[in-house]
Amino acid sequence: MQLTDFASYPNLVAMFLDRAQARGESPFLWAKHGGQWHSQSWADAARQVCLLAESLRALGLDAGDRVALVSENRPEWAIADLAIMAAGLVTVPTYITNTERDHLHILENSGARAVIVSTSKLSNAVLPAALAAPCVEHVIGMEPLRQMQAGKLAFHDWAAMTSGDAAAARRAVDARLIAVGRNDLACLIYTSGTGGSPRGVRLHHGSILCNVDGAAHILAQDFGWGDEVFLSFLPLSHAYEHTGGQYLPIGMGAQIYYSEGLEKLASNIEEVRPTMMVVVPRLFEVLRARIMKQVEKQGKVANYLMDRALNIGMRKAAGKRRLLDLPMSAVLERTLRPKIRAKFGGRLKAMVSGGAPLNPDVGVFFEAMGLTMLQGYGQTESGPVISCNRPRAGIGMNTVGPPMKGVEVKIAQDGEILVRGELVMHGYWQNDAETARAIPQTGPNAGWLHTGDIGHIDTKGRIVITDRKKDMIVNDKGDNVSPQKIEGMLTLQPEIAQAMVSGDRRPYIVGLIVPDPEWVMEWARAQGEHFDFKELQNLPAFRTAIRNAVDRVNKDVSVTEKVRQFTFADEAFSIDNEEMTPSLKIRRHKIKERYGARVDALYKA
């Protein structure tokens, strides 16, 4: 296909329908059932999108109404998302790992009138929230749902909602889309805020189209644009996958395969043979470890080749390539590298890492193995991609590449990275105060998105991120976690006086705990123990008591927010030891300086 001028599309649905018209009966969406991959054509997907859109309007939903979407990655997710927009409505994607309380907050805050949910298992957390939220009227099940305590909710079947007069539905959609422009709201994607409650990021059609335009130009100009195949693995409720794993392949007229999950991802890659993969750093770390273990078992020759490849890769990354490396690199191209590439299907053009910072050593490893690794940068508030490494600009593992097409970036006086362009959100849903902080309308940087990241632009025009201005934790899978929310819940427990949680770029959350002194004294007396905290913290019974407190909190948070491990601070955080500010906020950098090694050890336990 030819590179498209994405600026000509007024909305995301128009782009999809244009692609569906061109691709017709060609395969589009793939899912595995009964051990076999089954496809759905572009034409059939377009038919279902239009029929579902008209069925949603027939329920009485009006232009601008919100519809929550709770589902694992599957063809129906894409169809539902497009149908909601084709109906002139607004998609509210939510994580399948959300708790009932999380769902209730999002439903109430967004004012969603309908919920589309995939399975009865997922509905166990969604339906109680939908019943409690006064705004929700309808529930659509992709599969038959157990309609327990239906109450005010009207239940609808997916098959019935996607049947009818397809031609009439298409005419109605085409007529409606004339009034839907790039500035109109497409979706509300909820991301955690500093206050703990997730905020709805208002992404308009132009924001995502701008992202698709920039990414497609990189892929077309640097790698060539052909019959592309994407493997969708990250949650589609995440802005990164929503844009990069759904709308980018739609814009490129590509096929999308839906992975069966992490345990089967390696085999899915070999079966699907993707040309592009959008992944988070944690997955790369898992694949790297798996490859290294496999090579270790293959004997001295294989290990020798691996060492040589890594040495060459490190010199290349440091800009110290040698002529002496060329013969060995040629040997590697005939021996080790083809075997590694075969594990990724053999036709992978590039793997794009985003959602969280990538360890440069991991990037060097894959480059050394002959696989092109690109690192992107962005946040939900920017659609989400701001920049991406590309071969033409020189791939530097310590940079996140130059800004994409249509994106302006500048560095504020305090070093914060600021962004401007069509990709920037229109603000947070019903949260003017947070919107004004993120995109101030007065002052020298009025109209610029304040990313909360500190960095600079190198001599090649690439963004280099050096620090995080904000406290938000971004784990190694790219999920946002509000530390204040978890810390506040921990300190509500009678056993815990203070807490600081960590987990930036890590696989899970850990906590540094200051037990409540009065509770400790009472516990010690009840157990017949002497009150010596350093001795008590080593007692299994004492640790179990604190563990129980932590687990009570874990029951009320999502999977990504759970505190998996904890350790103890030596004393309370205070103003005197400079671990608290005068306004009694914890000083994270000071606490990390003191306890960093102790906290890091939790990931090795």
DSSP secondary structure code for residue 243 in this structure: I
Q: Is 144 left (phi over 0), alpha (psi -120 to 50) or beta?
A: beta
Positions of E strands within 284-334 = none
Instruction: Identify whether 494 is preceded by a cis peptide bond (ω within 30 of 0).
Output: no
What number is the average pLDDT over the span 86-107? 94
Angle at CA of residue 372, ends 309 and 214, nearest 5°: 160
Distance between CA atoms of 468 and 473, rounded to whole angstroms?
Answer: 9
Per residue in 136-157, pLDDT tens? Answer: 999 999 998 876 556 789 999 9
Q: Up-side HSE of residue 72: CA atoms within 13 Å toward CB? A: 13
Q: Is 161 left (phi over 0), alpha (psi -120 to 50) or beta?
A: alpha
What number is the average pLDDT over the span 294-313? 90
Q: pTM (2 decimals)?
A: 0.82
Distance between CA atoms of 234 and 232, rounded to whole angstroms?
Answer: 6
The answer to whether 416 and 469 are in contact (CB under 8 A) is: yes
pLDDT exceeds cutoff 80 at 582 = no
Amino acid 392: pLDDT: 75
Q: Is 164 left (phi over 0), alpha (psi -120 to 50) or beta?
A: left
Distance between CA atoms of 210 and 198, rounded to whole angstroms?
Answer: 25
pLDDT exceeds cutoff 80 at 485 = yes
Average the pLDDT over each of 157-171, 291-305, 582-596 and give the range with the smallest value.
582-596
Position with higher pLDDT, 420 vs 483 = 420
Domains and CATH numbers, the chain: 264-473 (3.40.50.12780), 482-601 (3.30.300.30)
Amino acid 141: pLDDT: 95
Position with higher pLDDT, 91 vs 391 = 91
pLDDT exceeds cutoff 60 at 583 = no
Q: At what angle do helices 325-334 and 336-343 cross, to 10 degrees?
A: 50
pLDDT exceeds cutoff 80 at 401 = yes
Q: Give bridge partners of residue 496 from the DSSP assignment.
A: 515
Amino acid 3: pLDDT: 58
What number is the average pLDDT over the span 277-303? 84
Burial 90-103 (b: 16+ CB within 10 A, else e): bbbbbbbbbbbebb
Helix (H) or strand (E) holding 106: helix 100-110
- The average confidence (pLDDT) of the chain is 90
What number is the average pLDDT over the span 162-167? 97
pLDDT tier for residue 193 given thresholds of 50, 70 and 90: very low
pLDDT exceeds cutoff 70 at 196 = no
What number is the average pLDDT over the span 572-580? 84
277 contacts: CB under 8 Å, gap ≥ 6: 230, 231, 233, 269, 344, 348, 350, 351, 352
DSSP secondary structure code for residue 580 in this structure: B
The answer to whether 37 and 197 are in contact (CB under 8 A) is: no
Q: At what angle do helices 75-86 and 42-58 cross, to 10 degrees?
A: 50
In order of 49, 169, 378, 497, 564, the CA distances from 508 in angstroms are 37, 46, 21, 22, 7
Q: What is the 3-state secondary structure (H, E, C) of 188-215?
A: EEEEECCCCCEEEEEEEHHHHHHHHHHH
For 27, phi then psi, to 5°, come to -65, 145
Amino acid 403: pLDDT: 97
High-pLDDT (> 90) share of the chain, %: 64
Average the pLDDT over each of 6-15, 224-233, 354-363, 367-376 and give the range with the smallest value.
354-363
Widest Cα–Cα separation across the chain: 80
Burial 311-323 (b: 16+ CB within 10 A, else e): ebbbebbeeeeee
